[in-house]
Structure 1
Amino acid sequence: MIEALLPSTVVAVEAFEDTPGEAPFPGEEDLIAKAVEGRRREFITARRCARTALRAFGHPDAPIRPGPQREPLWPAGMSGSITHCAGYRAAALARTTDVALLGIDAEPNGPLPEGVAESVTVPCEPEMLKRLAATHPGTEWGRLLFSAKESVYKAWFPVTRRWLGFDEARLTIDPDAGTFAARLLVDGARIDGGPPLSELHGRFIVNRNLVVTAVIPD
């Protein structure tokens, strides 16, 4: 499903269920030693998806350890992103020479918990969400906005090494094209010396009662 959002240079692997009894990969046991069973299952499956994608680029299976912000640490020369939610796990990987910015996210196509919408939107977005709900029912647009901003952050962080809050990006969503744009409201300086980030673009799909989003460079 998620591969429909990504260019051919990205390898995506997804799973809709876990393998009963699957053990953590060696070197990752400590990362979920105190986790509840549901969290353990999604972590194990999502990391397996990531290793499967890495194999396509010739990388041997190895632990995928987290960085200081719990971001997955990829082999040199690789960009990637992992997501998991109820009933879905996925990973997407690419060579940085092909795709330097990559973020994916999946969420259930259901309403956001009470009070969350107010904390993840900025001016103009609530009105946009109301219009979308009226003209395109069937999609929980608040949840899609939340997912898109998660994807934006996952693409942003590896090249800036800075936090990006939900209130630091303003989204516009095109429901017919299945695309969104995030205008960044903070300094977008990159650690690699590349052009500062001012806007990120992505695509989305709503299927199997899920909203799935992806951000890649233009």
Structure 2
Amino acid sequence: MIHEILPPDVVSVTDAELGLDESAVVAAMYPVEAEQISNAVASRRADFAWARACAREAMTRLGSPVGPIVRGGKGMPVWPPGVVGTLTHTDGLRAAALGSAGRVRSLGVDVEPHEPLAAGVLDAVSLPEEAAWVRAVGVELPSVHWDKLLFTAKEATYKAWFPLTRRWLGFADAHVTLVPDLPRGGAQAGADDRANGRDSADNKHDNNDDDSHTVFAGALRSRILVDPRAVDGGPDLVEFHGRWVIRDGYVASAIVLRPAGLDSVDP
């Protein structure tokens, strides 16, 4: 599902693609990686190892040298030279997305189960206007857990932000706008669906014409509300743009930030 919301020059790999068992994945960690995670519980070690195995397969597909991926500040992965990437893991899914440093300035991907946030969490992870929008759109399109989607967009924003600033970004430090794709046939088709008792989430669609599992997809915009200065010498981080999708029981958000002067490549 992640590849659906990434441009073609960004490689994504999930654990299901590797054809490995957990013991082999854990044993394949580089010694420096294993040392960093040695005191963690078994489930955390497994997530750590699986995500890095996905990343190394993505490096291979990119044609980049494969090497260890250690943890840096705030747990940020430290990538080998020439590679920009992001890791994500949740119940039943671990994944990595990587691009060439010449074409990608920063990446942020987050995947979560498509289920509601726990009671009270929405207000803790959103701005008041975001929470109000989530509640309003949830009445119109209740088949989508908009609160969890907003959460993944916030997490993807942070993952794209931190490597370029080395500064914390709180949930209230970025304003996220989520825009659902129009159903096939455009706005009138969507209006006809609602008139016939079907919402847009039931009009399954994606750009790959594989409608059997896609629930919903769309675009996201994340507007930074704090000091936008970056430390990599690039332009200020005023606004991020990305995509989101809900498929197979998961919701995923992705942000791809390009270097200055490089036109974006749409997924």
Match of 1:199 in 2: 239
Question: 1:29 offset after TM fit, Å?
Answer: 1.3
Question: Would the aligned equivalents of 1:16 and 1:87 in 2 still touch at CA under 8 Å?
Answer: no
Match of 1:187 in 2: 227
Distance 1:164 1:67 in 2: 16
1:196 partner amino acid: D
Match of 1:62 in 2: 67
Moved more, 55-64 or 156-165: 55-64
**Change in 2 beyond 3 A, CA 1:174/1:99:** same
Aligned-residue CA RMSD in angstroms?
A: 1.6
Pair 1:102 & 2:142 matched: no
Indicate the structure (1 or 2) with the bigger Cα radius of gyration: 2
Partner SS, residue 80 of structure 1: strand
Question: Would the aligned equivalents of 2:90 and 2:112 in 1 still touch at CA under 8 Å?
Answer: yes
Question: 1:45 offset after TM fit, Å?
Answer: 1.0
2:30 partner amino acid: P
Length-normalised TM-score, structure 2: 0.77
Distance 1:202 1:26 in 2: 32
Q: How does 1:50-199 map to 2 (within 5 A)?
A: 50-176=55-181, 178-199=218-239
Q: Deviations over 1:73-102 (max 9, x none)?
A: 011222110000001111001112111121
Distance 2:35 2:163 in 1: 24
Structure with a larger share of its residues in helix = 2
Length-normalised TM-score, structure 1: 0.94
Question: Would the aligned equivalents of 1:19 and 1:45 in 2 still touch at CA under 8 Å?
Answer: no
* Percent identical residues: 43
Question: 1:111 offset after TM fit, Å?
Answer: 1.4
Distance 1:19 1:128 in 2: 42
* Unmatched 5+ stretches in structure 2: 183-217, 258-263
Distance 1:74 1:7 in 2: 20
Match of 1:48 in 2: 53
Distance 1:209 1:119 in 2: 24
**Change in 2 beyond 3 A, CA 1:35/1:82:** same
Match of 2:23 in 1: 21
